[in-house]
Amino acid sequence: MEIDVLAAMELGLTLDELKTIYRVQFPVPRQYESDTWYDRNGRIVFTCNKGLPGVGFSRAEWTHIRPMRSGTVSRTIQDGTLPGGPRERTIVYEASFDRCDREKDYEMAWAEFARRRDLAG
């Protein structure tokens, strides 16, 4: 994300132009990001991303979990990513849940890099 901002600045684009490029050229990632939810520790608790099958809860489960403002919820999975074969692992998710906002992140990064550029000025 920071590299997007730095590249846009080097190319002489404006922040609005960068956000427009993101909206127009990347509709599928934008859709996935708009419905990917994280717990307080940054774990994906739900995603509609087709490239991440089995990550987080199903939509039906998510419907019941999403309103949580505090507490934890867990799920047990077969983790086949470790050496030695699959192992059962329990993932504990901590409420509340939130989404990322790439355009808001672009704005914050843009402001910071502009500030640094002006200081170096």
- Residue 51 has a pLDDT of 93
**What are the extents of the domains in the chain?**
2-120
Rounded to 10 degrees, what is the CA torsion of 75, 76, 78, 80? 60
0.85 surpassed by pTM: no
Write out the chain's pLDDT in tens, 121 residues.
789 999 999 999 999 999 999 999 999 999 999 999 999 999 999 999 999 998 999 999 999 999 999 999 999 999 888 888 899 999 999 999 999 999 999 999 999 999 999 888 7
- Residue 85 has a pLDDT of 87
- Residue 82 has a pLDDT of 81
